[in-house]
Amino acid sequence: MEYRSLGRTGMQVSPLCLGAMMFGAWGEKDHDTSIGIIHHALDAGINFIDTADVYSQGESETIVGKALTGGRRDDVVLATKFHAPMDVAMGQQGGDPNRRGNSRRWIVQEVENSLRRLQTDRIDLYQVHRPERDTDVEETLSALTDLQRQGKIVAFGSSTFPAHEIVEAQWVSQRRVLGRFVTEQPPYSLLTRGVERDLLPVAERYGMGVLPWSPLGGGWLTGRYRKGADLPVSHRQQSMSTRGRFDMSLPDNQAKLEAVEALAVLAEKSGMSLIHLALAFTLAHPAVTSPIIGPRTREHLDSQLGAADITLGSDVLDAIDEIVPPGVTIARSDEGYVPPALADPFLRRRRTA
């Protein structure tokens, strides 16, 4: 397998990254089955695994840790993330406000929890899962820099940060002589191209590795969602956090169905599966390092592995641009992050005495 540089870290990673979100209660509940999928990916040449503390409330990290025992840990570039609440289930309110977020207080606690679950003495890439308005980015970068100097993490990055916050973080790192974000995980797929406007050029300018999440559009680009077909029942569809993304009465989802239909026809004409077209598309962008695939079964994994060997010609890329124009995200719900100024009306209305 041809490996790629992970930003400017010197680490070399496979062109596909194995995402572990679907290992555990959120997906495949049997640990041995999940471990078998991880081993199959490693045997196929993948050396990059991405998980997060919040995936199945730590269970995903536990499964990955089990899979890498027996001498396989040093064969893998291991990434995980922090930010989301760890004392309440996904989508629920309440819990301890200090057991989440991007503060130094939480980071230094949660890194120890992740290290324990992963059964390792270091995390190769520790990522901030989402921005946080109430925490100064200098606070976050300072804590991560200390962990890096202690050897508990090798490098650190961000996930789903707007371009302007990436720039601010880079500026703060330089001004305060701190470590910097060396990677970014944005949502990027054939249906979610908004990051082409500014995020991807900014990441490329700063030499950051880019690890797109949901390159198959949360399942929309697997060929299962087609016009006129019954809506398949999936783990993602049943999730509280993604339910609106599969409501076919919504205009955005109808537009996605139209795009998927055209893309499926293009894939067939080009002699490849829709899955391979979707993954090869993200791999074709010069800023992208490794899209994150998130299989729940071995069959899912096998259907995605060959995409790294496909190079799309200009004719196919031009045809894609006709179906979903560059820089266009069809459904806002696929962006993965709502800026505070859009979520809270108070922040966009002038205060009066």
Distance CA 235, CA 231 (A): 13
Is the distance from CB of 81 to CB of 127 less than 8 angstroms?
A: yes
User: Could you write out the three-class secondary structure of 216-238?
Assistant: CHHHHHHCCCCCCCCCCCCHHHH
Q: Rounded to 5 degrees, what angle do the CA atoms 257, 252, 130 make?
A: 110
Q: How many residues does the chain have?
A: 353
C-alpha dist (Å) from residue 230 to 225, 227, 248, 253: 8, 9, 11, 14
Determine what percent of the chain falls in helix, strand and coil, rounding each to the nearest 5.
45, 10, 45
Q: Is 126 a catalytic residue?
A: no
Identity (one letter) of the amino acid at 316?
Answer: V
241's tokens: 């956090």
Catalytic residue (one of 3, 55, 126, 206): 55
**Residue 338 CB partners (closer than 8 Å, separation 6+):** none
Distance CA 33, CA 300 (A): 13
280's tokens: 């090869």
181's tokens: 């974000």
Tell me whether residue 132 is exposed, middle or buried, using C-beta atoms within 10 angstroms of its C-beta: 0 to 12, 13 to 18, 19 or more: middle
The one-character DSSP state at 28 is B
Helix axes 31-43, 298-305, angle to 10 degrees: 20
Distance CA 195, CA 330 (A): 12
So which residues are the catalytic ones?
Answer: 55
